A and B are shown apart, each in its own frame.
Chain A
Amino acid sequence: MTKVPWVETLRQRLFATWWDTAITLVCLYIVWRISVPLFHWLLLDANWSGTSREDCKSPGACWVFVRMRFGQFMYGQYPVPERWRVDLVGILLVMSVAALSWRRSLVIPALIVLPPLGVWLLHGGWGTGLRVVETREWGGLMLTLFLAIYAGLIAIPLGILLALGRRSRLPLIRFASVVFIEFWRGVPIITVIFLASLLLPLIMPTGFDVDRLARAVIGLAFVIAAYMAEAVRGGLQALPEGQTEAAQALGLGYWRIQRLIVLPQALRIALPAMTNEFIALFKNTTLVLIVSIFDLLGIAQAALADPAWVGMNMEAYVFAGAIYWFACFGLSQWSRLREKRLQVAHGR
């Protein structure tokens, strides 16, 4: 009897004894019982065409709801004729990420130019000749990405500086960094967002108004920066002290040592932890719902209040959940790819 390799593997791993066989069969049965109705609900019995809940006649999911609301899920209340601006910013983002991965020297200029350009395009006004779209009209996935990216853009550099500050030999800088990190790490994000959006207007002089969304971004960024700082510090501590000493012996100054020797290695070590923090940040953006900023989850929930679509809870949450999952999964895959490349570079 010829042995087919994969059959043999299956037999060894799953059906080696009668006990193994029983467990395998029970597990298979459970998977079958869950996945078949799920598959039916999600796809086979789902409703795809039509324009209202009346068109959802079969027992499965009513994806008509998601289709009719798709624009809002992606852009919130961003005016329809202006949505190309969001698309343009999205394309610029993808292109710049792609460009930056083969031209490292562009990173710093890109980081200085692109983020303000993005805000400028999305918001309009300020001499663009574009219609002003207030941040209250922003929403959906676009807002979720905006919050995560901009909070990340502030949090990562700030986190690195804080991590260096915490290991600084100057007591004042070290003390300030420790206080900042411990304060923001100790406060729940939901409290920070709430305070940023409600307490600030009460204590600020009237007429001096910081945008609601900007307050949320800054609040999120500070908390995440504190976490990032600890992730980076982990990387810094993994480096042998000898490296810094050797660099000092060569006559390099503090900033050149950090930039050329310490940080490239420390960040490589800290990358998985930093990615972890960023994924946490991405999911924590949903907390802005408490101050009525409609991110993807918020807009999905708000859609459920429309009597035309009342009761579509499953569809709304499954759709929002799927997008979050794909985004987070994509991020972790990207991070693993970076890690591998960096490993190769390290090995050389």
Chain B
Amino acid sequence: MHHANHYYGHSHVLARYCGLDDRNPQRIRGYLQHGWNIGDGMAADHEFVPGVPLFLWSERTRRRAWSLGRRQTYAVGAPWAYLLAMEPEPDGPRPREGTIWYPFHGWEGQQVVGDHDRLVAEIKATEPGPVTVCLYWQEYRVRRVRERYERAGFRVICHGYRGGKWDSLDPDFLRRQLAEQRRHRRVASNRLCTAVFYAILAGCEPAVYGDPMQLAGEVPLWGGQPRIRRQWAELHGPQVDPVVAREVAVAELGADRLLPPAVLRRLFHWPDPPSRPAGADLPEETR
């Protein structure tokens, strides 16, 4: 129902999980949450058609959305969690090293206001190993921003473009992100955000520290950063208990509530795969 369903290749991942064509996923009959937030799970600027369901990542978000008047809300788990279920980390020694660091970014049309030099100094003072800074595509395109981090000796990367309005879609976005995160031992950011939760689920030890910065003209929604720091205090700081962090990430990404493909197809109004019996398309533990 909304082009945001295809951001980051989310619908592609879910189509693959459902045994359907993941190069050209069908329209999801509903709004799929595409990023972690502390409101109803949906982007504030999206228009919603009444009666069209919201497919949210976690039960906590679903409850919050319900309390905010949203109906037909279903906790289905994040596409990221489905991707990890389909592509578990290979057994054997894991050559993880360093930290993948996600500076807080703005989205399309937004600018971040903050002292990047101070942030760089704090990263260097905190991180014990090599640092990879992952920038949002907008910032990555700005040489000045890129070079600021490169000068600090950091490797600078970008996971890619999340996709536009039914064009420039990137089915492999999440896979690239997963491959990159699995190279690192730690994940860090100056704001608790989607990427941090993703990396925790992907096996990184998390840290949230440094100037959280501001968006130009930022209006704190749903309590903003102060609320995030209060509610998820245990995930803040340069050192965080990884066991606690994983529990929180599992809950926030709904990794404990993944649905079987047949149920997901029914929720999305997707067809059954042509030649595979429903309910028999994934290993037992992922259903």
Binding between chains A and B: no
